[in-house]
Amino acid sequence: MAQLRQDYEKFVKLDTEIIVAGPEKAEAFKDYWAKENLPFIGLPDPEHLVLKLYGQEVKIFKLGRMPAQMLIDKSGKVRFVHYGHSMSDIPENKELLDLLETQMS
């Protein structure tokens, strides 16, 4: 998250909003966002609605406990998906930004 925050402005410049969904409740999000001073949209999903939706409809989410990232373009299509194999397995911002710049802007 700190890594993403650092480059947030670069994502904004490439016309990209970042939405972070997680299983915590709103209060936990609020506390964490305040503590870490995060600029993203935080989406509490304690009932795993979004996770289930994506797991069922796109079959892209293996219902594991690892982080995942997904880029959706302006037409609503999925253009990039990454599944972490561990909690620290997160794509480099540069990879995401390059894709946004070269193929999605």
Binding site for another protein (CB under 8 A): 1, 4, 11, 14-24, 26-30, 32-33, 40-45, 49-51, 53-54, 57-62, 65-81, 83, 87, 96, 100, 104
Nearest approach, Cβ of residue 16 and another protein (Å): 4
Nearest approach, Cβ of residue 98 and another protein (Å): 13
For another protein, which is the closer residue by CB, 6 or 78?
Answer: 78
Query: Cα dihedral angle (32, 35, 36, 39), rounded to 10 degrees?
Result: 80
Residue among 46, 95, 89 at smallest CA distance from 68 = 89
For another protein, which is the closer residue by CB, 37 or 65?
Answer: 65
Contacts 24+ apart (CB under 8 A), 83-92: 90/3
Collect all residues with Cβ–Cβ distance below 8 Å to 18 and sequence separation of at least 6: 4, 8, 11, 39, 40, 41
Nearest approach, Cβ of residue 103 and another protein (Å): 10
